[in-house]
Amino acid sequence: MTAHGTTDPGFGERQARPDGPPTVLQVLPALETGGVERGTVDVAEGLAAAGWRALVASAGGRMERELVRAGAEHIRLPLATKNPLAIRRNAGRLARLIRERGVSLVHARSRAPAWSALWAAQATGVPFVTTFHGTYTLGSFEWKRRYNRVMTEGARVIAISRFISEHMQALYDTPAERIRVIPRGVDLSRFSPEAVSEPRLARLATRWRLPDDAPVVLMPGRLTQWKGQTLMIEAMARLNRPGVRCLIVGSDQGRTAYRESLEELVARRGLGGQVHILDHCDDMPAAYRLASVVVSASLEPEAFGRVPAEAQALGRVVLAPRHGGAVEIVEDGVSGWLFEPGDPDSLARHLAMALDLDEAGRDAMAFRGMMQTRRVFSKEAMVLDTLAVYGELI
């Protein structure tokens, strides 16, 4: 029976390990877009480069082709479901896959697939690793906490920031000795000033119709309320500098009503010629380089904070809220500034400080942020540290 079969195997039978390099199976719902998917592809590429076998099981998506180009194999399974019966059936599918492919270790990156992967790992006797990617919601507190707890059940649990490590210990009593803090990695071959050509900048500036002399404030991120687009618009109204352009860049992912509400707020605040809400950008390195200041304005704590790390890697001054993983990336007053979360007045004051920097001050601040990101938050460091965690168990 192939990995796509539906018959549950008998649990408790340990797989036979083949000769040859170790095989790591990463498990996640789908391969669309986001930090979970990006990390999965990066680690798969690192495994392949190290001579290991890299397998990824998911429902597929737009990043599937990139994964295969990285040297990994993708197995399409219906892992995006949260149906309890389907989760149990997926455990059988994964156990069969582990046995057939001689998998050495299973790495789960999301809750529903993690339950399937945990049961499959227990059935086959292979090590189980998780990455705790976010704080996760706790609506019906006790039930939801039990559901979320699977992300702490790995023999090793990777936390993507110290903030997440502390969160797991406080809320789920996760033993510190099982946690390994490995920040997400920025691809410095793409996110560095040297990698962005002038023609790319010119094309994007023309597409967005940016005046040559206008300071640009960039806020990237998908359009969803907790990312703080409303806060950004209110801060721009308080800033009251008509010559400054603000670009809010991100896909609404079908949230057309939210996009329309943002456009209405821009009109009500009289910012129609100044604040522009733009769709997904397929050249974010160029977008960062066009900006004078980059803002992350999340209302809830980010588990890591990819925007501040990427912007710093590209030599840009960053503003971020004083909570979550951002405080581990932005050194307040050194590589950027931290403002009070959810406070438009605080954000407006810090915007003014950033925009008023002279060229030497801006360059010095940007350089410090760039050096810190290269030292601490590179993709290469993330991959090497993850493979070291695998090595602890294989």
Q: Mean pLDDT, 10 residues at a time, over the chain (394 residues)?
A: 34 50 97 89 96 97 94 96 95 98 97 97 98 81 85 97 95 96 94 96 95 94 94 98 96 90 97 94 95 96 94 97 96 96 98 96 95 93 97 95
Long-range contacts of 335-338 (CB under 8 A, 24+ apart): 335/365, 335/366, 335/368, 335/369, 335/372, 336/308, 336/312, 336/365, 336/369
- DSSP secondary-structure letter at 332? B
Q: Maximum Cα–Cα distance for the chain, whole Å?
A: 69
* CA pair distance 176, 48, nearest whole angstrom: 30
| Beta-strand runs (E) in the chain | 23-27, 53-58, 73-76, 105-108, 128-132, 156-159, 179-181, 216-220, 245-249, 275-278, 293-295, 317-321, 336-339
For the chain, which domains are there? 23-185+379-393 (3.40.50.2000), 193-376 (3.40.50.2000)
Q: Residue 125 region, left (φ>0) first, then alpha (ψ -120 to 50), else beta?
A: left
pLDDT for position 16: 44
pLDDT for position 75: 97
